[in-house]
């Protein structure tokens, strides 16, 4: 899979791409990442990529000319792959979108700065706008890295012996992942639960599922509304809620 990243600060990406899993994926030819400095396509002597907004307001806006020129020079006109604009105004990124994007063999990531992009870039160049959360950053580089990481790890072979599984958070029917432990069994008096130290796989699987349900209920109750729950899941949650709130039993 290939990623083409367009940014005013492409040097941000190299340190992350030169370590750990993504580094091995690149060396093994499983993914390819090309970064492009939008400023290289600015035509004036100062390589200007931003200007004041029409209608006033604070900050500067990224100009359309160098952005269109950069993307079309690399990807053609129209672009030969989806162009993902990173913006807090986009749809909220999640595991479902990551899986969808992982189905492409080529993606472009467009990173903004300042007050954002000229609207014509969104309307006529970007094919999708994605946000990583309801907050504002100084640029789109960190969101682009997050999208790239989430999508790349879903490619066959990227995780090596441990492929992305349905046990990962958000992949397990939309639930958070269950807690994990490793050796030693007792650390500073804190013990790994007995069920996880015993060899009864059926009981362990049941316990893991219940813990996923409880974690999601506690930290991301909103996910339960869309999660794929069975009758046993609903009965467990109902019983747990009744035991936790005895005064609210029906």
Q: Are 144 and 152 in contact (CB under 8 A)?
A: no
Cis check: omega of the bond before 78, within 30 degrees of 0: yes
Residue 78 a catalytic site member: no
Name the active-site residue from 10, 153, 177, 209.
153
Neighbouring C-beta atoms of residue 26, cutoff 10 Å: 16
Residue 153 a catalytic site member: yes
Q: Are 87 and 67 in contact (CB under 8 A)?
A: no
Residue 88 a catalytic site member: yes
Name the active-site residue from 100, 163, 168, 235.
168
Q: Which residues contact 38 (CB under 8 A, 6 or more apart)?
A: 6, 7, 8, 49, 62, 66, 67, 70
- How many whole angstroms separate alpha carbon 91 and alpha carbon 87? 9
| Residue spans of alpha helices (H) in 108-156 | 119-124, 141-152
Name the active-site residue from 65, 79, 82, 115.
115
Name the active-site residue from 4, 88, 113, 141.
88
Q: How far is CA 225 from CA 114, 173, 213, 229, 234, in A?
A: 37, 11, 12, 9, 12
Q: Which residues are catalytic?
A: 88, 115, 153, 168
């Amino acid at each position: 899979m290939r990623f083409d990243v367009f940014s005013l600060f492409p040097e941000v990406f190299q340190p992350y791409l030169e370590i750990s899993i993504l580094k091995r994926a690149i060396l093994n030819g499983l993914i390819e990442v090309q970064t492009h400095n939008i400023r290289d396509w600015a035509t004036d002597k100062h390589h200007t990529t931003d200007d004041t907004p029409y209608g006033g307001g604070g900050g500067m806006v990224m100009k359309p000319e160098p952005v269109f020129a950069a993307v079309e020079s690399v990807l053609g006109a129209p672009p030969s792959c989806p162009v993902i604009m990173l913006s807090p105004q986009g749809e909220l990124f999640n595991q479902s979108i990551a899986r969808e994007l992982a189905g492409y063999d080529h993606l472009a990531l467009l990173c903004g700065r300042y007050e954002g992009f000229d609207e014509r870039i969104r309307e006529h160049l970007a094919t999708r706008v994605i946000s990583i959360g309801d907050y504002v950053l100084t640029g789109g580089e960190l969101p682009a890295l997050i999208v790239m990481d989430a999508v790349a790890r879903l490619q066959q072979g990227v995780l090596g012996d441990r492929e992305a599984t349905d046990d990962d958070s958000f992949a397990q029917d939309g639930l958070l992942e269950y807690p994990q432990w490793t050796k030693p069994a007792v650390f500073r008096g804190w013990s790994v639960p007995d069920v996880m130290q015993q060899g009864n796989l059926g009981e362990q699987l049941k316990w893991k599922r219940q813990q996923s349900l409880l974690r999601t209920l506690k930290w991301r109750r909103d996910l339960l509304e869309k999660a794929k729950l069975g009758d046993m899941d609903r009965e467990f949650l109902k019983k747990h809620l009744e035991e936790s709130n005895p005064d609210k039993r029906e």
